Amino acid sequence: MSCLGEAWRQASRRIDRLDARLLLEHVCGCSHADLIAHSEREMSPAQAVDFARLVARRAAGEPLAYLVGSAWFCGLEFAVGPGALIPRPETELLVDLAARRAGTLDRPGIIDLGTGSGIVAILLARRCPRAALTAIDISAAALGLARANAARHGVHVRFLEGDWYAPAGSERFDLIVSNPPYVAAGDPHLCRNGLPFEPRRALTDGLEGGDGLDCVRRIVAGASRHLHPGGWLLMEHGWDQARKVRKLLRTAGFGAVATWRDGAGIERVSGGKRGALKPVQ
């Protein structure tokens, strides 16, 4: 038998102290305040076994969010699991930019490509209650989480399974948003910081020797067929990809092409407006 305080101390020798605390709270269903005020409380044998297993998995590099089954994004808690990317704080910029544009339109149609756990579509549905949200992903597992998250946050999003625009047929939208996979397949970061536990398809286009932008190219290529005149395409990308993404947008005939920086000052989202320019052949 082990008391809460002792279990926390011992686990903190193997994993980060905060992670140990959050795992303990998750297993024992207690708050941080409980942990401090009742540190001498005994864990049940089942709790001790569960906690030891989770500490071992965390020590092996598995992300905390997958171990506790949830992550926070823009002040809301979302269910996450190994079928979907863990929300990243930098994606808040994509949501903010999209919400600002949608806010100027009456009943905008918005599509979120590669919705994962649904964070972008769900936040936009909450911030723009008059918008009609469609969200697509190729992963059935991710869509299962996204549907559960939409229900949890009380919003209606039409979730469709398939390859980028395919499930939307010939439908057009006022706004296309996407945080697509954009890490180059050869990037060594894919082997670090818990990324091997996340779905590879959520992180990279998988093309060996490529620049990671294959999904961006496909999204840009299809955008004009799915945007109303004057509609916007906004995409998140890697810290060193903005120039290439802007070039792809201009070449496809987009106007008002721009890049926005995230809270860390990194060029993170680029986009353009379906404009008057004729696409370059």
Ligand X SMILES: C[S@@+](CC[C@H](N)C(=O)[O-])C[C@H]1O[C@@H](n2cnc3c(N)ncnc32)[C@H](O)[C@@H]1O
Q: Does 198 bind ligand X (CB under 6 A)?
A: no
Q: Which of 102, 111, 136, 227 binds ligand X (CB under 6 A)?
A: 136
Q: Which of 23, 97, 115, 248 binds ligand X (CB under 6 A)?
A: 115
**Tokens, residue 117:** 């756990």
* Alpha carbon distance 205, 140 (integer Å): 18
Amino acid at the residue 148: A
Nearest alpha-carbon partner for 42 in 54, 32, 30, 33: 30
Q: Which is nearer to ligand X, 117 or 241 (CB)?
A: 117
Q: What is the three-state SS of 62-105?
A: CCHHHHHCEEEECCEEEECCCCCCCCCHHHHHHHHHHHHHHCCC
Listed ranges 11-19, 51-59, 123-131, 179-187: which one lies at the site for ligand X (CB under 6 A): 179-187
β-partners of residue 70 are 79
Q: How far is the CB of 215 from ligand X (least distance, A)?
A: 6
Q: Does 120 bind ligand X (CB under 6 A)?
A: yes
Q: Which of 108, 116, 212, 231 binds ligand X (CB under 6 A)?
A: 116
Q: Which of 139, 149, 241, 270 binds ligand X (CB under 6 A)?
A: 139
Residues contacting residue 38 through CB under 8 Å, at least 6 positions apart: 4, 30
* Alpha carbon distance 120, 96 (integer Å): 10
Q: Does 180 bind ligand X (CB under 6 A)?
A: yes
Q: Which of 30, 74, 132, 138 binds ligand X (CB under 6 A)?
A: 138
Number of residues lying near ligand X (CB under 6 A): 22
Amino acid at the residue 202: A
Q: Which is nearer to ligand X, 85 or 252 (CB)?
A: 85
Q: Does 85 bind ligand X (CB under 6 A)?
A: yes
Q: Does 114 bind ligand X (CB under 6 A)?
A: yes
